[in-house]
Structure 1
Amino acid sequence: MELLVDYENITALQVEGDKGDEYQPEKLKPGLSFQRRDRARRNVSPLIIYILLGLCILLSSLALVMALIQRAQTSEIKRSDADFQMELSQWKSNVTGTCENAASSLSELQAEISWLRANAFFLHAFDQWRLFNHRLYFFSSNLETWDEALKFCAAMNSKFVVINSNKEQDYIRGNTNVNNWIGLHDTASEGTWRWVDGTDYETNVKFWADDQPNGHKDYDEDCAVVSKDGLWHDWPCSSKHPVICEKPAQ
């Protein structure tokens, strides 16, 4: 019986405990919930504001940097484009000038070729020793005074040409078409003509053109040339002409 009583007591206590554990929430006051929300807002809002403000500053800085970079790139592109246009213009100018120079050079070359073709025989006779009748003749293309021509021939162990026959005269005429110095002069005495090798002038052949030698009232004409028609003319010794040198064949 005692055990049963105890059980009943225990049961009664348990029931009472269960009843005592029931929670009856009391009603909140009307402004309490809003006060809690305001407190939470006051705790959270500054942090969010700072974060948002920082983000705004960061984004603004990035936007500014990007704008500056884009502006710099735009300026660089403009400068590069201007430089390119300038270089292109300079290149076009150079190409145009080169083409014009090339065309001019081509025209000059064609003119020289035409002249060379027209004077092939004449050039063939110049600047080389040629054999005729056991003697060598050098037809120079250099323009020199009579004294310079004399030294030129001497440097090649030769002398001015001395014309001694009709055949030699014909040979000289057939190998030149300009005035050439020959070894005839009257520098020692006016009117007294002499050959440089001592050949007697009076008894030797003569091929003066009409009215030659005639001298000149304003300057001396003391040296002789053979013209392209083979006839002789007196000229001032200071004038410049090619020379014909002569020496024995070895």
Structure 2
Amino acid sequence: MAGGLHVENMELQGLRETPGAPDPGDGHQPEHPKPGNGVWPAMSFRGKFFLLIICTFIGLSILLSIVSLGTAVGLMTRLLSEMKTSDAGFRMELAQVKSDVIQLLNETKASDSSVMVAISNLKGNVTRLISERNTSDTDLKMDLARYFENVAQLLNETKTSVDNMWRLAVEFGIMVQGCCGTGIVLHPEPCPLIPPHISDPILLVDQWIRFNQTSYYFSSTRGTWNESQDLCASMNSNLVVINSLGELEFLARNQIFDSWIGLNDRRKEGIWRWVDGTDYESNVKFWGIGQPEGSGWVEEDCAVLSERGTWHDWPCRSIHHLICERPFTMMSQSMTPGD
């Protein structure tokens, strides 16, 4: 538009400078062109042309904008559609993953339950086996205890028979030459630790015998360790406490049978004590080879002076002869059981 106006102004200026044109200042009025002389129609055409160009440009711009907007709307619509499709697919995949997780958790729970059941069954089997083993061990221990009691009883009965044979042999004077001198050979063991008897034992039974400043009672009575200690106590004495080799030799020479002595570890296994409180650890000891041994099943908590002059541990409920001891006095020499 600006360009069209500029052209028109130049044309007007050219007309005004046309030779022979009257000067407005000289009093003549300019002649106005009449319509149809070709000047104004030309100017109107140019203006309309430029206006048409401008309108066309504006229209094209608007059309282009509409096309661009439509394209953008289409693209946006397609993008939204794709996003919805993608979101739906994502939701489906998420739902599938959630379903898989739930299924996995259920399978894990089922597996854990199976494992717990298996562990429970295994625990029950182990408990049952332990119970059966304990029952079997208990039965075995009871059977062994009964067996050892029977063996101890059999030994005691055998010992009784041997004791009776010994008495008969002594009473009837049946003597056999043994490895250590005159005597009765009862078993093929080595010779006793103590020399052969130097006195007649049968004459010393059931009476008090003095040795140094102590009186000893060799009883023909047999009993358990407790019964033997009670018998000694009834005569104001105790089972014998051996304090020296000389005392041991005297006892071994004058006893006939295995006899209880005043030594036991009934209070605590392996802790031996003398009935009169004499210190065991500092005192002399005359245990036989491998003694004291115990048996593991039958408690052997009381000591016996054997015929060989050595000590052996025996069950306190077994039956043996006994030797009592008390300080020597003239009054005590006449005291016997029942006095």
TM-score bracket relative to the smaller structure: 0.5 to 0.7
* Alignment partner of 1:240 is 2:319: yes
CA distance in 1, matches of 2:298, 2:260: 18
Give the SS at the match of 1:143.
strand
Per-residue displacement from partner, 1:87-106 (whole Å, max 9, x unpaired)? xxxxxxxxxxxxxxxxxxxx
- 1:165 lines up with 2:244 in the alignment: yes
**CA deviation after TM superposition for structure 1 residue 112, in Å:** 7.2
Distance 1:112 1:228, change over 3 A: closer
1:172–1:112 Cα change, 3 Å = closer
Equivalent pair of 1:177/1:229 in contact (CA under 8 Å) = no
In 1: Cα distance, 2:224 partner to 2:292 partner: 19
**1:136 is matched with which residue?**
215
Structure 1 residues 217 and 124, CA gap change in structure 2 (3 angstroms): same
2: CA distance, partners of 1:112 / 1:131:
23
Q: Is the Cα contact below 8 Å between 2:170 and 2:202 reproduced in 1?
A: no
What TM-score, normalized to structure 2? 0.40
Aligned pairs (5 A) from 1:93-242: 114-116=169-171, 117-118=173-174, 121-242=200-321
- Describe the superposition over 1:51-86 as per-residue Cα deviations: whole angstroms up to 9, x where unpaired: xxxxxxxxxxxxxxxxxxxxxxxxxxxxxxxxxxxx
SS at match of 2:285: coil
Compared CA separation, residues 215 and 129, structure 1 to 2 (3 A): same
Identity of aligned residues (%): 49
Q: If the length of structure 1 is used for normalisation, what is the TM-score? A: 0.54
Partner amino acid, structure 1, of 2:264: H
**Secondary structure at the counterpart of residue 123 of structure 1:** helix
Instruction: Give the equivalent residue in structure 2 for 1:56.
Output: none
Matched, 1:249 2:328: yes
User: How far 1:178 sits from its partner (Å)?
Assistant: 1.6
Instruction: Supply the AA of the counterpart residue of 1:115.
Output: V
1:78 corresponding residue in structure 2: none
Post-superposition offset of 1:171 = 0.4
Count of matched residue positions in the alignment of Structure 1 and Structure 2:
140
* Structure possessing the higher radius of gyration over alpha carbons: 2
Equivalent-residue separation in structure 2 for 1:248 and 1:121 (angstroms):
23
Distance 1:219 1:195 in 2: 21
CA separation in 1, counterparts of 2:270 and 2:255? 27
Query: Per the alignment, do residues 113 and 217 of structure 1 end up closer, same or farther by CA in structure 2, a change over 3 Å counting?
Result: closer
Question: Deviation digits for residues 86-141 of structure 1, max 9, x if unmatched?
Answer: xxxxxxxxxxxxxxxxxxxxxxxxx9765313589221121000000111000001
Distance 1:113 1:214, change over 3 A: closer
Work out the CA distance in 1 between the residues paired with 2:258 and 2:167. Answer: 21
* Deviation (angstroms), 1:239: 0.3
CA distance, structure 2, for counterparts of residue 161 and residue 138 of structure 1: 9
Per-residue CA distance 1:6-38 (angstroms, 9 max, x = gap): xxxxxxxxxxxxxxxxxxxxxxxxxxxxxxxxx
What residue ranges of structure 1 are gaps of 5+ in the alignment?
1-110
Return the letter of the residue paired with 2:298. Answer: Y
8 Å Cα contact 1:185-1:193 kept in structure 2: yes
The residue type paired with residue 212 of structure 1 is: Q
C-alpha distance in structure 2 between counterparts of 1:114 and 1:178, whole Å: 14
Distance 1:240 1:112, change over 3 A: closer
Q: Which has the higher contact order (CA 8 A, sep 6+)?
A: 1
